[in-house]
Amino acid sequence: MHKRVSILLLLVMVIPVLLSACGGAAPTVAPQPAATSAPETTAPEATKAPPAQPVKVIYLSAGTAEVEQDWNEKWVKAFNDSHPNIQIQYELVAWADLLTKVSAMIAGGNPPDIAWYAPSMIKEWYYGGLLEPLDDWLPQDIEELLPAIRDPSASDIIYDGKYYGMPFCLAGLGVIARKDIFAEAGYDTDDLMNWDWAKYKEIMAAVTKPDKNQYGLQFAFGEPRISGGKYWFLTNGLRDVTDFSNKEAYVEALQYSMDLFPYSPEAQLQWVHADTLTCYMNGVCSVAFQGSYFQGDIIRQAPEVMSNEGSAVLPYPIGPRMDDCMVPWYTVGWVMFQASRNKPEAAEVLHFLASREAVNEWPMNMAPKTEITLEDRVRASEFGEEVRWWLEDWYEMMEICKPAARPGYAPSNEINQIYTEVLLELYYGSITAEEAYEQLKAGIEPIVIAPGQ
C-alpha cells in the first residue's frame, strides 16, 4: 500500500482530529462532593474499630489475547499498588460468555462493577436498563474522546444523550491479506484499495488450491458471534444483518456468500475464533476479515506474517449497490453497571485505566483519545517500529475510504445464532438465498431491539 502518513488520527464523519503530544501519568478521579460529618474524635485504644477492608471492584475483562492480558495485568497491578483502599478483582471471561456471565452475576446478587463492552453488548445492556451513565462520573475522560466518538449520530456509546461506555480503543474493520499468496496468484495488494465483489471472488478462486490445503477465506461456523458473511450486507448498502429494508440488496449479499463457499475449507464448520487466527498464520486461508486489533492477536506467534512484507491492510470489497470503499469502525471499552454497589470506587478505577498514559499503551487498535499521536503509539508498543506500518495503513485507509459507524445490534447472541443456522442451510444447499432472506426476516425482526439506533 502506498504510504501517505497523515497528521490526522482519523477522518470520521468528515471531522478531522488534530493530534499533539501524549500526556503524562494517570490523573486521579475528579473529586466527589464531600458529605458533611461531625468532627472526628479519638476513641480509646480498646474500643478502636479494626482497619477497614479495601473496597473490591469486580472487573470482567474479555481480553483473552495474550497482549490484552498483559496490559490488563500491568495496569490492574499499578492501580492496586497505588490504591490500598480499593482493590480490583480482575476476572477473565471469553467474549462469547460475557453476556451470560453478567446476567448470571446480577441475578445471583453479586453484580460486577465494570466490564468490557462491544457495540452489540452495550446496546443490549442499555435497553435492558443495566448500565450506569458515566457523564457525572468521568467528565474529564469524556472530554478527551475523539470528536467522532462524541458525535451522537455516529457514536456507539451514546444513548438518549448520555455516555454509557468509556473506550480504550477505536477499531477499524477490513481485510487482511497474505501478500505472498496473492503475489503467487499474480495479484499485487497495492492495486486493491478500490476492489469490488467481482475482483474479490476472482482472487479467491485463483488462490484456492485444495490439493495444497490452501483456500481463499473462511466462515467459522463454530462460533456464531463471528460467523462469516455478515460484512456483505454492510458492503451492499445495508446497515447490518438486521436491516431488511431492501430485499434485493439482502438477497444479493446472501447469494454472494453462497458463491464464495467453494473457496473455503470444510473444516471451518467447527471453527471458533482461535482457529481463524491459525488458518491465516499457517497460510491455509489467504485473507482474514478482521480489525485493527488483528496484529496484536498474532504478532507474537507469527511476526514474519504480521509484517509489512507479509500482510496487507485492505478495505472491504464493495457490492453492486455501493460506489466507494468504506471502513466500518466501532469502539471497545468499559461500562459500569447500575447494580454496582461501589460506583465511586468503580469510577476511580475507570478513570485510572482510561488515562492517556494507559490507553496509549493499549497493544491493539487505534487510540480513542485526542493528543495521542502515531509516534506515541509506536514508542509505547512493545513491538516498536513493527507496529508503524500497521497503524499507518489503517490511518491511510480511513482517510481514503468512507468511515462508517457500526453501532451493533441486539439481542446479539440470539440473532447471531439464527443467522449461523440459516447460513449453514445455504452452505449445504438446502435453501436458496431468497428463502434464506425470508427465514432470517421471520426470525430476527420480531426480536431485534431498537433497529437502526
Predicted confidence (pLDDT) per residue in 298-329, tens digit = 999 999 999 999 999 999 999 999 999 999 99
Same-domain check for residues 423 and 310: yes
Other C-beta atoms closer than 10 Å to the C-beta of 450 total 13
166 and 181 within one domain:
no
- In this prediction the pTM is 0.83
Distances (CA, A) of 224 to 169, 229, 241, 267, 424: 24, 11, 13, 15, 11
Residues 167 and 76 in one domain: yes
Note whether residue 300 is domain-resident: yes
Q: Give φ, ψ of 157 to 5 degrees.
A: -120, 0
Whether the pLDDT of residue 359 is over 90: the answer is yes
pLDDT at position 50 is 62
What number of CA atoms fall less than 13 Å from residue 133's CA on the CB side? 9
CB 67 within 8 A of CB 296: yes
As to burial, measured by CB atoms within 10 angstroms (0-12 exposed, 13-18 middle, 19+ buried), residue 350 is buried
- pLDDT(177) > 50: yes
Cell of 213: 490445503
Helix axes 247-260, 433-444, angle to 10 degrees: 120
Q: Rounded distance, CA 88 to CA 76, Å? A: 7
Between strands 86-92 and 114-117, the pairing is: unpaired
- Please check whether residues 214 and 294 belong to one and the same domain: yes
Q: Are residues 236 and 308 in the same domain?
A: yes
The CA-based angle 86-22-20, given to 5 degrees, is 145
- Chain segment 27-57, per-residue pLDDT in tens: 334 434 333 343 444 444 445 556 689 999 9
**Domain assignment of residue 39, yes or no:** no
Domain that holds residue 212: 173-327+408-444
> Quick one: 307 and 430 in the same domain?
yes
Q: Judge if 182 and 86 occupy the same domain.
A: no
Phi and psi torsions of 169, nearest 5°: -155, 155
Q: In this model, does residue 187 exceed pLDDT 80?
A: yes
Paired sense of beta strands 311-314 and 166-178, if any: antiparallel
Q: Considering the domain boundaries, does residue 348 fall inside one?
A: yes
User: Within a domain: residue 387?
Assistant: yes
80 and 225 both lie in a single domain = no
State whether 314 and 300 are in the same domain. Answer: yes
Each residue of 75-118: pLDDT tens digit? Answer: 999 999 999 999 999 999 999 899 999 999 999 999 999 999 99
26 found inside a domain: no
Can you point out the beta strands (E) in 86-153? 86-92, 114-117
Checking if the pLDDT of 16 tops 80, the result is no
Number of domains in the chain: 2
pLDDT above 90: percentage of residues in the chain = 81
Which sign does the torsion angle of CA 382, 384, 389, 394 carry? positive
Mean pLDDT across the stretch 224-230?
91
* Per-chain mean pLDDT for the chain: 89
On whether both 285 and 248 belong to a single domain, the answer is yes
Please, which residues have CB within 8 angstroms of residue 426's CB and are 6 or more apart in sequence? Answer: 254, 257, 258, 261, 433, 436
> Residue for cell digits 451514546?
158
pLDDT at 168 over 90: yes
Does residue 241 fall inside a structural domain? yes
Both 237 and 338 in one domain: the answer is no
3-state secondary structure of 42: coil
More confident residue, 450 or 263: 263
Report if residue 3 sits inside a domain: no
- What is the β-pairing status of strands 55-61 and 114-117? parallel
